[in-house]
Amino acid sequence: MSQVKENNTIKVNYTGKLTDGQIFDTSEGKEPVEFVLGQGRLIPGFEKGLIDMKLNEKKTITIAKEDAYGDVNENLIQEVAKTQLPQDMEPQVGMGLVSTSPEGQEINLMVVEVKEESIVVDGNHPLAGRDLIFDLEVVEITA
């Protein structure tokens, strides 16, 4: 029976949960996710958890934050004056924004606080600082 190895193209059904059981992502009702294992497209803990799984095998893995999206980087949380925002923007907590770095790279930000004269934005991945749980099922393995 074939087992998942590095550089295999695999298809996986998954459900990602926080440690409190809240689901943050799932392939349920969609096509399984397909990728080549070992190319770094997915968080390290997800890829490690798939190694040696067999076709149609199901298992649940827990991924420590270090093998997921890392710790929260406080340097990515910044206060921005409302005068720097577009005039017609009404910022709200939870609103996503895109900024451009001096090098021209797009940075996704989340508004985490709205003050009278400023807003606080967070450039961390929404799952940074959290351990994650994934229910996995390998549905296809291609060498």
pLDDT at res. 1: 55
Q: Are residues 14 and 64 in the same domain?
A: yes
- According to DSSP, the residues that pair with 62 across neighbouring strands are 133
User: What is the total count of domains within the chain?
Assistant: 2
3-state class of 48 per DSSP? helix
Position 29 in a domain:
yes
Position 4 in a domain:
no
Which residues of the chain fall short of a pLDDT of 50?
none
Q: Are residues 65 and 132 in the same domain?
A: yes
pLDDT at res. 15: 98
3-state class of 5 per DSSP? coil
pLDDT at res. 99: 87
Position 1 in a domain:
no
Q: Are residues 110 and 135 in the same domain?
A: no
What is the Cα–Cα distance from 90 to 23, expressed in whole angstroms?
Answer: 29
pLDDT at res. 2: 85
H, E, C per residue of 106-124: EEEEEEEEECCCEEEEECC
CATH number for position 92: 2.40.10.330
Position 94 in a domain:
yes
Q: Are residues 101 and 84 in the same domain?
A: yes
Position 98 in a domain:
yes
Q: Are strands 118-122 and 106-114 parallel, antiparallel or unpaired?
A: antiparallel
End-to-end CA distance of the chain: 13
Domain that holds residue 44: 9-70+127-142
Taken in order 74, 80, 84, 90, the sign of the CA dihedral is positive
Q: Are residues 57 and 79 in the same domain?
A: no
